[in-house]
Amino acid sequence: PEQLHEHRPVPRPRLPRLGRGRHTQADGKTFEQLRLECLQKGKLFEDPDFPAVDDSLFFSQRVPVNFEWKRPGEVCKDPKFITGGATRTDICQGQLGDCWLLAAIASLTLHEDTLKRVVPHDQDFDRGYAGIFHFQFWQHNKWMDVVVDDRLPCVRSNLVFVHSADNTEFWSALLEKAYAKLNGSYESLKGGSTMEAMEDFTGGVGEMYETKNAPTNLFLILKKAVERGSMLGCSIDITSSAESEAQTTTGLVKGHAYSITGVEEVNYRGSKVQLIRVRNPWGQVEWNGPWSDNSREWNTIDSSEKTRLLHNSLDDGEFWMEFGDFKANYDKIEICNLTADSLSDDVRKKWEVNLFEGNWIRGSTAGGCRNYIDTFWTNPQFKLRLDHPDDGDKLCSVIVALLQKNRRRLRKEGLDMETIGFAIYEAPDDQDHQGKDFFRYNGSKVRSRSYVNMREVSERFRLPPGNYLLVPTTFQPHHEADFLIRIFSENKAGMLFLSYDTDRSGRMSSYELRSALNAAGMNLNNKILQLLGLRFADENFDIDFDDYLTCIVRLENMFRVFQALDSQKKGVISLNMMQVKHLFLFLPICKCKESIIYLFIYLQYMNYNSCPIC
């Protein structure tokens, strides 16, 4: 059976050319338009989409203290956006459990081109200051330009959340605010995976390694990752919430996200020693074992090496460790590659990318993992064709990344990360979508290592050329979420989303509505089927015979009306106002949702994008 793994949050496809991402303001205005308006009016910007109120801070608890929202000019005399370049020391954690985000920001400062995309440098507190700033994040295969005002939560004129070691510098605090706005609130940033933020800063693809079960060349993998500009994080697992952010005797913190900032080898007493540099986003609390800042090991290596490696040893929170000690103390390593190149290969590759967005809908496509064989087959299925092996090889390299969308923003509604995973099957050449019996009698070729409640699950595989079936799922059936699938392959792969079929069980469940309607000669798209399932299925996702007949009769009438209006048989009609009035007479609007659903089905069938009433 599938294994459930709970992720306890601890606290380049190549970058597109520098430019503006998609605008996110509700009024559709750009950063430049808003700033110009403020300058012309002589007013400082106040963001109506993320106001300076308690709801922007917390959604599940009362504000613990009396916060004041202050602009940087009210906190210090001469505020600066960036002072002397953005560095790792500009990120110090405040009173929010978002160390995972700060570890990613620390890694971001090591990559100048990436940093300039996320943190545009065309803004400051001097020329053109209007109390407005903007930042860019990757979200679900799109770059978003997020605008914020510069009012920051304070207590007694001290920033409550992220702040710089230099109290006149504010880029990191404003970046955190923009990310909080993107996700709905500051509280939405509590707990997470460093890889999540790394991907939002780069659009890259993540990989995770467990140090206790890592490949023998892990050090080489990390070294190549640093050389190729990848962003890296690490953490120590906890066994209970009581261990969260508990400090060990060696100065390390459990359940806490760190960033990896360097990988080196040095000559020590006649042999090579592998070292790794780690940073605590707290800006303090460091490893106190061998190769720590003031340890005796540094006194026995070449002075030039010591100077090179310890030139910034005063950076609080950053330290070196011997790689063996690192593996013994840390449990997980997260790597966000800016390209999909394997860190085990010596040659960079040009990767092809396939994308698909989909969703799991209760009563329709939310079948759960293979443990639930009666509904597993109803999950979305994707046909993947691998035709061309890697250069000089008989196998095809492929990375599958399954990402669930908007889950942090949905925390306000009581929802959180779903537990997700996927399986890949060898597909028969003569069939596309597979039913229950196929999955009952055929095991997966490969699959995600476990089901985990993280935003993204990704795996790298090497498969023979052929046809495959990719099935993304939640762990439990009937759990709803939207998702994005990214397929990275060295050579172009074919990818097709398959429609749903029947398990021929004779049971009239909402999951089989498509096949029942097909048998009646009615071919409907997924959106309409989901609406019909919403209307006719009960709480157990079953449809009784009377409701099924009602559905058939009403759909038949709808088809007749449409066909009568589609005199030229083009599959598209246009209506004048009088015809719309007749339509409303045919579908009387009442207080129940049934009429609205049927109206929406009409509009979908007639290629309308939205309801004219709403």
Tell how far CA 66 is from the center of its chain: 33
Query: Are 595 and 601 in contact, with CB atoms under 8 Å apart?
Result: no
In this predicted model, which residue has the larger pLDDT, 603 or 518? 518
Residue (of 356, 370, 382, 358) closest to 477 by Cα position: 370
Q: Is 176 left (phi over 0), alpha (psi -120 to 50) or beta?
A: alpha
Residue burial 109-127, b: 16+ Cβ < 10 Å; e: rest:
bbbeebbebbbbeebebee
For 534, the token pair is 């919403």
In this predicted model, which residue has the larger pLDDT, 516 or 459? 459
Cα end-to-end span (Å), the chain = 46
Across-strand partners of 80? Answer: 169
Strand (E) or helix (H) holding 178: helix 171-183
The four Cα atoms 334, 255, 420, 460 give a dihedral, to 10 degrees, of 20
Residues marked as catalytic: 99, 256, 280
What's 540's DSSP letter?
T
Query: Are 402 and 454 in contact, with CB atoms under 8 Å apart?
Result: no
With cut-offs at 50, 70 and 90, classify the pLDDT of residue 97.
confident
What tens digit of pLDDT does each residue of 387-431 get?
Answer: 888 767 788 888 899 999 999 999 988 899 999 999 999 998 767
Mean pLDDT of 535-544: 76
In this structure, what are the phi and psi dihedrals at residue 494, rounded to the nearest 5 degrees? -90, 140
Q: Is 61 left (phi over 0), alpha (psi -120 to 50) or beta?
A: beta
In this structure, what are the phi and psi dihedrals at residue 179, rounded to the nearest 5 degrees? -70, -35
With cut-offs at 50, 70 and 90, classify the pLDDT of residue 484.
very high
β 205-210/231-235 pair status: unpaired
Distance between CA 351 and CA 472 in Å, rounded? 22
Per-residue pLDDT at 601: 53
Residue (of 136, 156, 193) closest to 18 by Cα position: 136
In this structure, what are the phi and psi dihedrals at residue 426, rounded to the nearest 5 degrees? -70, 125
Residue burial 188-222, b: 16+ Cβ < 10 Å; e: rest:
bbbbbbbbbbbbbbbbbbbbbbebeeeeeebbebb
Mean pLDDT of 355-369: 90
Per-residue pLDDT at 434: 87
The strand ranges marked E within 171-330 are: 205-210, 231-235, 257-268, 271-279, 318-322
Task: Please state the pTM of the whole predicted model.
Answer: 0.73
For 545, the token pair is 């015979």
Per-residue pLDDT at 347: 55
> Which domains are seen in the chain, by residue range?
22-202 (no CATH), 205-337 (3.90.70.10), 352-498 (2.60.120.380), 510-605 (1.10.238.10)
Per-residue pLDDT at 505: 34
Three-class secondary structure of residue 212 per DSSP: helix
Distance between CA 281 and CA 450 in Å, rounded? 29
Query: Are 332 and 7 in contact, with CB atoms under 8 Å apart?
Result: no
Per-residue pLDDT at 227: 84
What tens digit of pLDDT does each residue of 116-147 get?
Answer: 999 998 899 998 999 999 999 999 888 999 99
Mean pLDDT of 459-484: 94
What tens digit of pLDDT does each residue of 162-216 get?
Answer: 999 899 999 999 999 999 999 999 999 998 888 999 999 998 888 889 999 988 9
Per-residue pLDDT at 586: 53
Sequence-ordered list of residues with C-beta below 8 angstroms from that of 25, at least 6 positions apart, any chain: 34, 49, 147
For 551, the token pair is 């559905």
Distance between CA 84 and CA 485 in Å, rounded? 40
In this structure, what are the phi and psi dihedrals at residue 365, rounded to the nearest 5 degrees? -130, 10
Cα Rg, the chain, nearest whole Å: 27
The strand ranges marked E within 2-104 are: 4-5, 22-23, 68-70
With cut-offs at 50, 70 and 90, classify the pLDDT of residue 257.
confident
Q: Is the pLDDT of residue 503 over 90?
A: no
Mean pLDDT of 93-113: 87
For 216, the token pair is 């023998």
One-letter identity of residue 517: L
What tens digit of pLDDT does each residue of 549-591 get?
Answer: 778 777 877 777 777 777 777 777 777 777 666 665 555 443 3
| Cα–Cα–Cα angle for 151, 155, 161, rounded to 5 degrees | 65
One-letter identity of residue 400: V
